[in-house]
């Protein structure tokens, strides 16, 4: 039978493990971000750094109005390799669903992002994604999109001018992609 001090030490280790797990899951918690489901897709004028309108400013909401589209709003300061893997999975899902991804960099340095995104595309080799830059207020994002500045990444799935699903992530990686793919498949029906 372990001594009282050994049991106490074991309980402290167990308690520390529980606190660590709870803290990790809290840090990973999703946040509310993006327009509500069923809402009309708002205007989205961005600088297209790598997509079908490369080098131009375009309203992708008007361009994609009746087509399935995944809008991914990325806080540029939080761009990471796990987020890049997530974006690559969404790009692959879009190809299967005959959809398109518009990735929108939210940044206080639009010029830096305009220069960076073609290099990112050369590395990522996305085939169904436009990497774009929103040139307005990075904290709030484009009007009508309801971007939460605490979300490192906001995903809005749309079809036929309506929002079909929205997701706000404080942390994201490729394991989050299946729920976006499911939402896209459902929206494209």
Q: What is the DSSP pairing of strand 129-134 with strand 100-106?
A: parallel
Q: What percent of the chain has pLDDT over 70?
A: 85
- The tens digit of pLDDT for each residue in 143-168 reads 999 999 999 999 999 999 999 999 99
């Amino acid at each position: 039978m372990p001594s009282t001090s050994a049991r106490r030490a074991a309980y402290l280790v167990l308690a520390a493990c529980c606190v660590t797990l709870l803290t990790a899951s809290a840090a990973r918690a999703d946040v509310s971000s993006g327009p509500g489901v069923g809402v009309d897709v708002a205007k989205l004028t961005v600088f297209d750094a790598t997509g079908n309108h490369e080098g131009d400013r375009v309203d992708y909401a008007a361009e994609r109005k009746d087509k399935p589209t995944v809008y991914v709003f990325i806080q540029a300061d939080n761009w990471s390799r796990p987020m890049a893997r997530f974006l690559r999975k969404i790009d692959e899902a879009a190809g299967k669903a005959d959809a398109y991804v518009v990735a929108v960099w939210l940044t206080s340095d639009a010029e830096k992002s305009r220069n960076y995104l073609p290099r990112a595309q050369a590395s990522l080799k996305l085939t169904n994604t436009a990497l774009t830059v929103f040139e307005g207020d990075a904290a709030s994002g484009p009007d009508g999109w309801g971007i939460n500045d605490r979300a490192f990444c906001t995903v809005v799935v749309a079809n036929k001018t309506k929002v079909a699903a929205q997701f706000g992530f404080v942390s994201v990686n490729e394991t989050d992609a299946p729920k976006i793919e499911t939402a896209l498949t459902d929206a494209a029906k």
